[in-house]
Amino acid sequence: MAMRGGAMRRMPGNPLGGMLRDLDRRTRTTTRSTGRRAPAGDPPAGEAGSPGERGPEGPPGRSTTAAIVTTGDDGRARWMFPAPYALPPVLTALPVDPEPGGDRTVTVALEEVTETCAVVRVWRTRPKRGHGVTDPAGPGLFVHLTATAVS
């Protein structure tokens, strides 16, 4: 035997059913157009004018530089910026895990940021029962760095 109404109607008192019912009502009302639409008007008469004068120059944008550096024997990597910043920049560092499927994790710590350079150090976790231990990552790990000027 057929039941009248949808599944949402058969769930009285169910908050999800009420939400689905309201959503169904709203979608039906937005897809239906009410009233008649007026016919499209004529395009404006005349020819397009020439562009106006150039406005005043805005302030200079923030400069962002990026680099990929490699760690040394102690897990540190130094990045000399191409041009010095007025203030120490905002730095983002992302280490590349050489063994993404392994049980060790690679993390990076920012040790020093000046107007001319940045120093980061990469660490690898070593699983130990009860708590993890971190060791310097060693040579040859890549770190992706970006530096953005502070305004």
Round to whole Å and give the CA distance between 63 and 90: 11
pTM, whole model, 2 decimals? Answer: 0.57
First to last CA, the chain: 71
Residue 9 confidence (pLDDT): 57
Query: Which among 79, 63, 62 has a CA at the least distance from the CA of 144?
Result: 79
> Which residues 6+ apart lie within 8 Å of 134 measured at CB?
107, 123, 124, 125, 126
What mean pLDDT, rounded, does the chain reach?
A: 83
pLDDT at 7 over 70: no
Q: Is 65 exposed, middle or buried (0-12, 13-18, 19+ CB in 10 A)?
A: middle
> Which residues 6+ apart lie within 8 Å of 48 measured at CB?
none
Q: Is 69 exposed, middle or buried (0-12, 13-18, 19+ CB in 10 A)?
A: buried
Question: Which tens digit of pLDDT belongs to each residue from 24-55?
Answer: 777 776 556 666 777 888 888 888 888 899 99
Round to whole Å and give the CA distance between 97 and 87: 31
Question: Which tens digit of pLDDT belongs to each residue from 47-98?
Answer: 888 889 999 998 877 778 999 999 999 999 999 999 999 899 999 999 998 8
Round to whole Å and give the CA distance between 21 and 6: 9
Round to whole Å and give the CA distance between 90 and 66: 12
Count of CB atoms within 10 A of residue 27's CB?
10
Residue 97 confidence (pLDDT): 87
Question: Which tens digit of pLDDT belongs to each residue from 111-134?
Answer: 999 999 999 999 988 777 667 677
Task: Kindly list the domain boundaries of the chain, sorted by start residue.
Answer: 64-148
Residue 134 confidence (pLDDT): 79
Q: Coil, helix or strand for 136?
A: strand
64-148 placed in CATH 2.60.40.2080:
yes
